[in-house]
Structure 1
Amino acid sequence: MQVLEKAPAKINLSLDVLHKRDDGFHEVEMVMTTVDLADRITLTLLNSDKIIIESESRFVPNDERNLAFRAAKLVKDTYNVKKGVKIFIEKNIPVAAGLAGGSSDAAAVLRGVNRLWNLGVGLDELAVLGSNIGSDVSFCVYGGTALATGRGEHIKILPSPPSCWVVLAKPRIGVSTAVVYKRYRGDQIKHPDTKAMIAALEQEDFQQVCANVGNVLESVTLDLYPEVKQIKEQMKHAGGDAVLMSGSGPTVFALAHQETRAHRIYNSLKGFCEEVYIIRLLGNRS
């Protein structure tokens, strides 16, 4: 028996860090939405009590370093499952990119093994379980568009953004989220207006969505990695309606209402960046 799950990437339309918590995590306020770039997860039932991870990508670990492995193990341990699973990950989302690729894989495995092992667990319970794996996993369990608060585990579903094109560009560097948060100084940064972003989504106002994008971690990463700043400036120069770094980076995205403009941005990045994608917003829960 096999189960197939799609694991879409996400972008942050807004990302605010409110303060550092007593547990060492940061209190965040993020508006996230899924895009049409996805890993594909194939889960195969095993009668033996083990978890096997396979992938053609050399960047995908096959042990507990992989969030997908940890997701399957967590479900097995929580619900005392004695069956096993082979998980094949078709990797299309760039790794260490600020696009929640690993978290989305983990969320897909949570949903997939729930079906494969006939557990009958609801999405809300899976999302709570996912918060034990990583801060973005709860959002990825639901997908679509949502406000994430706490350390990312409290999810409020929001209306989808107006349909548009997205150009993603990831430079050939990896960014440590821990390092970015360590260098973050909240009193020196302009914070995004999360309420205005939510209002723009509720009113289906593309211009106001673009006007209210913001990411407090962006200035930290731009200071550390000039190539990220260069890509952002190039996207703005090419006519992006809104240009922002996603997560802690290094991927930068541009929103474009018109397809011709999206292609102009895409073409302008030749020579600047090897990993460039022109895709659509998903926004809704698939």
Structure 2
Amino acid sequence: MKLMEKAPAKINLALDVLYKRPDQYHEVEMIMTTVDLADRIELEEKNEDEIKIFSHNRYVPDDERNLAYQAAALLKRRYHIKKGVGITIEKNIPVAAGLAGGSSDAAATLRGLNKLWQLGLSLDELAEIGSEIGSDVSFCVYGGTALATGRGEKIKHLTSPPKCWVVLAKPVMGVSTADIYKRLDIKEVKHPDISSMVDAIAHNDYQMVCKNVGNVLEQVTLSLYPEVSNIKKQMKKFGADAVLMSGSGPTVFGLVEYDSRMHRVYNGLRGFCEQVHAVRLLGEQSTLE
């Protein structure tokens, strides 16, 4: 038996870090939303009691370093599953990009294996399991738009943000999230106004969403990688309404309201950056159907 699951990318409309916790994680407040750029996960039941990862992308590990592998292994252990699974990952989300590609693959694997192995778990239960794999996995189980707190695993669902285009541009290098957090000096950051962003989304106010984007990790990544700073400048120059780095980077996104302006931003960036995508905000939550 085979089944497919979609694994959408996410962007951070706002990302704040409050303090470092005793468990060495950081306490965060983030507003995340999914976009229409997705990996495709194919799950195939195997009689052999093993997990196999298949991908044509050389940057995707095929062993326990892979978060989808970890998701399958966790479900197998917890629910004493004696069957195996083949997980084929068709990678469309750039790797190590600040778009939660690996976390979304893990979340899609949890949702898919819940069906394949007939576990009967709810999205809430899957999200709780996902929190053991990585901080973004809980959000990715649900998708949609949410305020994430704690280390990212506490999820409060929000309505969908105003419809618009999102232009994503990723420079060639990857960024280590752990390294960026390690270099962050919380005393020196300008904290985004999370509550104003929540209000802007609640009132479907595109201009206020654009006004309140913010990411405390941005200044760290920009200081280390001038290419990211250059992409931000170009995106603004070509007319994006709001420009921000997603997660720990290096991907930069621009929000654009109108089709004509989106084409101008997209085409302009193609000269500076190999990986450029123009996608819509999704905003809708996943289901177990």
Pairwise TM-score range, normalised by the shorter structure = over 0.9
Per-residue CA deviations over 1:199-240 (Å, capped at 9, x if unaligned) read 001000000000000000001100000000000011011111
Partners of 1:54 and 1:225 lie apart in 2 by 32
Q: What SS does the aligned partner of 1:250 have?
A: coil
Partners of 1:151 and 1:33 lie apart in 2 by 17
Q: What SS does the aligned partner of 2:254 have?
A: strand
Report how far residue 72 of structure 1 moved. 0.2
Report how far residue 265 of structure 1 moved. 0.7
Which one-letter code corresponds to 1:252 in the other structure?
Answer: V
**1:179-218 to 2 correspondences below 5 Å:** 179-218=179-218
Report how far residue 158 of structure 1 moved. 0.4
Q: What SS does the aligned partner of 2:187 have?
A: helix
Which one-letter code corresponds to 1:223 in the other structure?
Answer: S
Report how far residue 182 of structure 1 moved. 1.1
Residue in structure 2 matched with residue 83 of structure 1 by the alignment: 83
Partners of 1:185 and 1:60 lie apart in 2 by 31
Report how far residue 189 of structure 1 moved. 1.5
Residue in structure 2 matched with residue 151 of structure 1 by the alignment: 151
Q: What SS does the aligned partner of 2:135 have?
A: coil
Residue in structure 2 matched with residue 119 of structure 1 by the alignment: 119
Q: Are 1:10 and 2:10 matched, yes or no? A: yes
Which one-letter code corresponds to 2:28 in the other structure?
Answer: V
Q: Are 1:244 and 2:206 matched, yes or no? A: no
Report how far residue 148 of structure 1 moved. 0.5
Report how far residue 83 of structure 1 moved. 1.2
Partners of 1:251 and 1:51 lie apart in 2 by 31
Residue in structure 2 matched with residue 280 of structure 1 by the alignment: 280
Residue in structure 2 matched with residue 44 of structure 1 by the alignment: 44
Partners of 2:132 and 2:217 lie apart in 1 by 23
Partners of 1:208 and 1:270 lie apart in 2 by 28
Partners of 2:49 and 2:104 lie apart in 1 by 24
Residue in structure 2 matched with residue 235 of structure 1 by the alignment: 235
**1:14-25 to 2 correspondences below 5 Å:** 14-25=14-25
Partners of 2:118 and 2:42 lie apart in 1 by 16
Per-residue CA deviations over 1:51-77 (Å, capped at 9, x if unaligned) read 111111111111001000000000000
Which one-letter code corresponds to 1:174 in the other structure?
Answer: G
Structure 1-normalised TM-score?
0.99
Which one-letter code corresponds to 1:231 in the other structure?
Answer: I
Report how far residue 271 of structure 1 moved. 2.4
Per-residue CA deviations over 1:223-279 (Å, capped at 9, x if unaligned) read 000000000011011111110000000000000000111111111113211000011
Residue in structure 2 matched with residue 105 of structure 1 by the alignment: 105
Between 173-182 and 104-113, the greater mean CA deviation after superposition: 173-182
Report how far residue 132 of structure 1 moved. 0.7
Q: Which runs of 5+ in 2 are unaligned?
A: none
Residue in structure 2 matched with residue 164 of structure 1 by the alignment: 164
Report how far residue 48 of structure 1 moved. 1.8
Which one-letter code corresponds to 1:159 in the other structure?
Answer: T
Per-residue CA deviations over 1:75-99 (Å, capped at 9, x if unaligned) read 0001111111111000000000000
Q: Which runs of 5+ in 1 are unaligned?
A: none
Q: What SS does the aligned partner of 2:277 have?
A: strand
Q: What SS does the aligned partner of 1:198 have?
A: helix
Residue in structure 2 matched with residue 62 of structure 1 by the alignment: 62
Report how far residue 175 of structure 1 moved. 0.8
Which one-letter code corresponds to 1:182 in the other structure?
Answer: K
Per-residue CA deviations over 1:13-42 (Å, capped at 9, x if unaligned) read 000000000000000000000000000000
Between 178-187 and 61-70, the greater mean CA deviation after superposition: 178-187
C-alpha RMSD over aligned residues: 0.7
Partners of 1:11 and 1:171 lie apart in 2 by 16
Q: What SS does the aligned partner of 2:125 have?
A: helix
Which one-letter code corresponds to 1:198 in the other structure?
Answer: V
Q: What SS does the aligned partner of 2:270 have?
A: coil
Residue in structure 1 matched with residue 32 of structure 2 by the alignment: 32
Partners of 1:210 and 1:233 lie apart in 2 by 16
